[in-house]
Structure 1
Amino acid sequence: MADVEGAWTRVSGEAVNWLNELDPEHCYSGFEPPRRPDAAWLLHAMYVWQDGLVTTTHDDVYRTFRAAGLAETGPGGEPEVGELLEGSVVTGTELGRSGHPGEGWRRLRWAELARGFGEPVVPEGEAPGNRCLRQAHPTGSWSAAIEPPAEGCLDRESWHRLMALLARHSPDGADTVCLAYYCPLVTADWDDNTVLSGRLMDAPELYDHPEMSSCPSNLWAADRSWVVYCDWDLWGTKVVGPVALIEAMLADPGLECLRLPWTS
């Protein structure tokens, strides 16, 4: 497998213009394409501690650590993060990359949690995000026994599984030429669109690109037969493309996917 920086080449930012025409309002956080002809949302993975839920929240844990003088500090021991968080709620939600937390944790499906609280997985009219599963984080902070879905980036395990599915449903398989767009909220470049070109066989390594803090905001086949959309503000990743691809995603036991008919 090629080194990610050698396998992916920077190309003109104009390569993303066609997505901008489809969704001109969301360029700063990723472009949401309409169905082509089908679409599904891949829910970012969450995990629960093996002993079950606790009422203590991530915010409670942070406040306890801070009161004990163990919260993060800046250079010279001066408070840094603590001052920023004063008066705010520590939700427990990560921004950017995520993955399985390790031994003692198990996958917690959105559907499992929703059933327990008697609420929909994603409320009608919403996209997967912080308005979902509200009874699991009523104050804004999740139980400390839950690693909630990461915001803005698909989890590592689901990303790798999705790349394999895309290869199986692309005419050129792993040799499919594709392009990756990183939005300004990831790159901090507000002047030029960051677009890379490479092959699908090297897309798994994009997840840990050393110059980025997230997976691509959009990834698409050069023939535009499918598009992946990962908005910096959401807990789900949208995939649009052929019906066979979407059906394969929905049937994959390692992924948690659903169609949201109210999204374009």
Structure 2
Amino acid sequence: MDIEDVWARVPGEAAGWLRELDPGHRHSGFEPPRRPDAAWLLHAMYVWEEGLVTTTHDDVHQSMTAAGLTGQSDVGDLLEGAMVTGVDLGRSGDPGAGWRRLRWRELARGFGEPVVPDGALPGSRCLRQGHPAGSWSAAIRPPAEGCLDRESWYRLIGVLLRHSPSGAGTPCQAYYCPLVTADWDDDTVLAGRLGDAGGLYDHPDMGSCPSNLWPEDRSWVVYCDWDLWGTKVVGPTALVEAVLTDPALEAVRLPWSR
């Protein structure tokens, strides 16, 4: 069944309650305050199993450019002379053979730094020793910006199913911010069932998972900011604890996050 058959466009006013909670961030997704608890899912990163290298993603790009092996399609909207950091924007996932999952905690412990610095949110201010000059080692696939990784998205939906009284039949709505849709005039909101939410990840009209996902009763909210490397899950403490303790997910509580 096509995703368009199970998730239908509804009036943008459906996201109005989120706009009231966070009036300044429509463009990149609405951040809800903890209601009553919250955790941040850290977008997955991967490391080449044979070990790290000092060559960076930008070094590789510069070498390929010098050899005439790159084009604009290789770097998207990269401005001329800009650094290639290695951070993807939008969807990401397990790169396959030769790579293993690299936990943020593992890398932070090796560098002797916090997973997320005090007062920061998961993003470019994190794990600075992993990209001290801006570009990551070419042997690391760093966390994607703006979208939870595919494997974590499906795992999260599974957790939400177990913590929603109506399970797969839970009516839900999904909001996509203008930075995803390029529609600055109308809010893009889709309505469907939680049991079909996994398929939203690869919606053919979107380049990302939803910026916000919530059930009809608003008992929990998922928030994925287009500018961050983390996805916030807000809701009952039992749900948040399930996210924090799930072995396939990596999440942290950030006391300074509202």
Matches within 5 A, 1:3-22: 3-22=2-21
Count of paired positions: 258
Is 2:157 the counterpart of 1:163?
A: yes
Equivalence for 1:260: 254
Task: Tell me which residue corresponds to 1:57.
Answer: 56
Aligned to 1:77: none
Q: Distance in 2 between matches of 1:32 and 1:46?
A: 23
Cα offset for 1:3? 1.9
Instruction: Tell me the CA shift for residue 124 of structure 1.
Output: 0.5
CA distances 1:126-151 after superposition (whole Å, capped 9, x unpaired): 00000000000011100000000000
Which residue identity lines up with residue 182 of structure 1 in the other structure? Y
Mapped to 2, the partners of 1:83 and 1:205 lie a distance apart of 27
Tell me by how many angstroms 1:72 deviates.
1.3
Q: Structure 1: which 4+ aligned runs deviate by more than 6 Å? A: none
Q: What is the aligned partner in structure 2 of residue 110 from structure 1?
A: 104
Aligned pairs for 1:166-205 within 5 A: 166-205=160-199
**8 Å Cα contact 1:72/1:82 also seen in 2:** no
| Partner SS for 1:178 | strand
Of the three residues 86, 94, 100, the one matched with 2:88 is: 94
Which residue of the other structure, out of 119, 133, 141, is the alignment partner of 1:139? 133
Shift of 1:87: 2.3
For residue 86 of structure 1, report the CA deviation from its aligned partner. Answer: 2.8
Residue 171 and residue 103 in structure 1: after superposition, are their counterparts in 2 closer, same or farther (change >3 A)? same
Amino acid at match of 2:103: R
1:242 corresponding residue in structure 2:
236
Q: CA deviation at 1:166?
A: 0.1
1:122 aligns with 2:99: no
Length-normalised TM-score, structure 1: 0.95
Alpha-carbon distance between aligned partners in 2 of 1:58 and 1:102, rounded to the nearest angstrom? 18
**Whole-angstrom CA distance in 2 between matches of 1:211 and 1:9:** 12
- Aligned with 2:97: secondary structure? coil
Alpha-carbon spacing, 1:69–1:17, altered in 2? closer, same or farther (3 Å): same
The one-letter code sitting in structure 2 at the alignment partner of 1:11 is V
Q: Could you say what the CA RMSD is over the residues aligned between the two structures, in angstroms?
A: 1.4
Over residues 194-243 of structure 1, what are the superposed CA-to-partner deviations in whole Å (9 max), with x where a residue is unaligned?
00000000000000000000000000011000000000000000000011
Q: CA deviation at 1:81?
A: 5.5
- Please give the alpha-carbon distance, in whole angstroms, between the structure 2 residues aligned to 1:52 and 1:224: 44
Q: Deviations over 1:90-144 (max 9, x none)?
A: 0000000000001000000000000000000000000000000000001110000
Structure 2: segments with no counterpart, 5+ residues: none
The answer on whether the counterparts of 1:44 and 1:237 sit within 8 Å (CA) in structure 2 is: yes
Aligned to 2:215: 221
| Percent identity of paired positions between Structure 1 and Structure 2 | 74
Matched, 1:37 2:31: no
Closer, same or farther: CA 83–206 of 1 in aligned 2, 3 Å: closer
What secondary structure, in the 3-state scheme, does the structure 2 residue paired with 1:91 have? coil
Amino acid corresponding to residue 151 of structure 2 in structure 1: E
**In 1, Cα distance between equivalents of 2:121 and 2:85:** 19
Cα distance per residue 1:48-101 (max 9 Å; x no partner): 000111000000000000001101157xxxxx9699543211000000000000
Long gaps (5+) in structure 1: 75-79
Separation in 2, partners of 1:200, 1:103 = 31
Alpha-carbon deviations, 1:158-189, whole Å to 9, x = none? 00000010000001011100000000000000
Cα 1:229–1:82 shift into 2, 3 Å: closer
